[in-house]
Amino acid sequence: MQHVDGNAIAGPLAEFFAFDVTTAVARCNGCGSVAELARAMVYTSPAGSVLRCASCEQVLATLVESDDRAWIGFSGVSAIEVRRR
């Protein structure tokens, strides 16, 4: 299965956050590398989207959407850095 870039889930995430979460920087809990979520690898299927670290492939975040709800998980990162300016 082919992955795309984190940038690709900017749209679904913009439904729930007041800023573009894909521009946030996070440290991968698996390998310690630090990068914008837009640089992560996205595996998207109708079941949901899985964001994986571009360096070690560990799961960073997940997005599952139903008609009336969404589940946004950040199982592989402890914090996201959001730039004020």
**Dmax (CA) of the chain:** 37
Instruction: Say whether 51 sits in a helix, a strand or coil.
Output: strand
**CB 3 to other proteins: min, Å:** 7
In the bound complex, what is the minimum distance in angstroms from residue 77's beta carbon to other proteins? 14
Binding interface with other proteins (CB under 8 A)? 1-8, 10-12, 14-15, 18-25, 36, 38-39, 43, 45-48, 50, 52, 57, 59, 62, 64, 66, 69-71, 73, 75, 82-85
> For residues 79 and 62, what is the distance between their CA atoms, to the nearest angstrom?
15
**Which among 47, 36, 39 has a CA at the least distance from the CA of 3?**
39
